[in-house]
Amino acid sequence: MRKPARASASDFPGGPPAGTLVVRLDDLPDHGGKDIVFSDGKMRLQLLVQKIGHQVYVYENRCPHAGTPLNLFNDRFLDGTGKRLICRTHGALFAPENGHCVAGPCKGQYLRAILVEIRDGGIFTA
């Protein structure tokens, strides 16, 4: 499957406009994740933010296998090695750098990457 282009959060039903703060960098420890939900009152967009070293990755928090959030109920998105994102529902593993599923029931598919801008100490939708 071809890697999908990065999407603007505003392209999703319930997604926020460009320039919306997703999370402050101070609230994201090294190897820390955040489950962020935006809603317009009717629809919702759930994002996952994961920091690994100095890199920050932002994806729609929706597994391409069954559509569940990867984390289910907390802010933990990494597997035991700390190198892959893991879906807690059926164990799919994803490369953090491009969202490619490298093992599990959706192998070969991708998470939807979200366009963001890092500035002023925060991660903002772009």
- Chain positions 64 to 103 lying near ligand FES, rule: CB under 6 A, are 65-66, 68, 87, 89-90, 92
Distances from the Cα of 2 to the Cα of 7, 16, 42, 98, angstroms: 15, 26, 31, 12
Q: Choose which of 63, 111, 114, 123 interacts with ligand FES (CB under 6 A).
A: 63
CB 116 within 8 A of CB 108: no
Distance of CA 5 to the CA centre of its chain: 14
Q: Is 107 among the residues that bind ligand FES (CB under 6 A)?
A: no
Is the CB of 49 or the CB of 92 nearer to ligand FES? Answer: 92
| Residue whose token pair is 């933010």 | 49
If the CB atoms of residues 96 and 104 are measured against ligand FES, the closer one turns out to be 104
Per CB under 6 A, the list member of 4, 14, 105, 122 interacting with ligand FES is: 105
Residues touching ligand FES, count (CB under 6 A) = 11
- Which of 116, 21, 29 minimizes the C-alpha distance to 76? 29
Close Cβ partners of 14 (under 8 Å, ≥ 6 residues apart): 38, 39, 40, 42, 43, 44, 45
Closer to ligand FES at the Cβ: 16 or 69?
A: 69
Q: Note the residues at the interface with ligand FES (CB under 6 A).
A: 63, 65-66, 68, 87, 89-90, 92, 104-106
